[in-house]
Amino acid sequence: MWKLLGWQPSELQLGQFQQLQDELRSWNARLNLTRLVEGDDFWIAQVFDSLWPLVSLLKAAPPVHMIDVGTGGGFPGLALAIALPQARLTLVDSVQRKIEAVRAMATTLGLAQRMEFCGERAEKLGQDPAWRQRFDWAMARAVAPAPVVAEYLVPLLRPGGRALLYRGQWSPPDREQLNRATRSLNARVEAVEALDLPAGRGLRHAVSLVPVAGCPHQYPRAVGIPAKQPLGG
Ligand code: SAH
């Protein structure tokens, strides 16, 4: 699996991934965080899937500040925190008890001192000057349709930052709608990468967005509006 990924964790990092799996098992007994905890479900559908779009970053290891919006049980955020020891990671989820579980896991793994946790809606953070235009990378996996996620992520990017949308299926109409949405946000689609996950876990796409100018101040719109009236729709 690591050979295919093109990046190898250190002994410490491998131990942290194993510890993360143990933590997920025990938190799952209390809180329904994820059903992907055993074997390939964990190593391929969670860890590998979180890391593959950023493999060049894993090799270069720059000191970036990243935000994972809708982290749920901690993916991709916790996997990235392990794999990028020089990065700062901010994990956001609107469900406070998920954020508390993820914070507890990060503390056990010794990652919490370079992480931040926030139980808030992405639409609120995107309008908060303390959060807006602050991040080198903003990402989300399995949170909402791509144009909705774009509206959550783009306002958080500093100039020159990147948004990363983890997608499953990806079609030309998806691309057209996202192109229209990003135009409203003063951003554009930079690249779309495809990968067939090992162990028959299916096709994944990684869509990266780059701001071309400051995001118009009306975005993100009020809580719930991006999902109800997706941009570019
Ligand atoms: N990223 C994780 C979890 C996906 S489930 C994974 O890939 O496994 C989607 C999560 O996004 C849920 O935990 C939900 O609470 C959160 N979420 C959905 N809309 C949100 C919003 N507008 N702001 C913050 N979190 C949101």
In a domain, 116, yes or no: yes
Give the model confidence (pLDDT) of 46-61 as tens digits.
999 999 999 999 999 8
181, 150 Cβ separation under 8 angstroms: yes
Q: What is the pLDDT of residues 139-180, one digit of tens each?
A: 999 999 999 999 999 999 999 999 999 999 999 999 999 999
**pTM of the entire structure?**
0.98
Q: How far is the CA of 68 from the centre of ligand 1 (A)?
A: 9
Q: What is the pLDDT of residue 174?
A: 97
Chain segment 7-47, per-residue pLDDT in tens: 999 999 999 999 999 999 999 888 888 889 989 999 999 99
pLDDT at 29: 83
State the average pLDDT over residues 66-74: 97
Residue 138 lies in a domain: yes
Residue 109 lies in a domain: yes
Q: In total, how many domains does the chain have?
A: 1
Q: Residue 233 domain-assigned?
A: no
* Residue 166 in domain: yes
Residue 101: per-residue pLDDT = 96
Q: Return the pLDDT at 222.
A: 98
Averaged pLDDT of the chain: 97
Instruction: Determine, yes or no, domain membership for 153.
Output: yes
Domain holding 201: CATH number? Answer: 3.40.50.150
Q: What is the pLDDT of residues 88-138, one digit of tens each?
A: 999 999 999 999 999 999 999 999 999 999 999 999 999 999 999 999 999
> What is the domain extent for residue 96?
2-228
Phi, psi of 6 (to 5 degrees): 85, 25
User: For the stretch 41-70, what's the b/e string if a residue is b when 16 or more beta carbons lie within 10 angstroms of its beta carbon?
Assistant: ebbbbbbbbbbbbbeebbeeeeebbbbbbb
Q: How far is the CA of 184 from the centre of ligand 1 (A)?
A: 23
Q: What is the pLDDT of residue 139?
A: 98
Instruction: Tell me, in angstroms, the distance from the centre of ligand 1 to residue 122's CA.
Output: 9
Mutate to test the pocket of ligand 1, among 94, 139, 148, 166 (most ligand atoms within 8 A of CB): 94
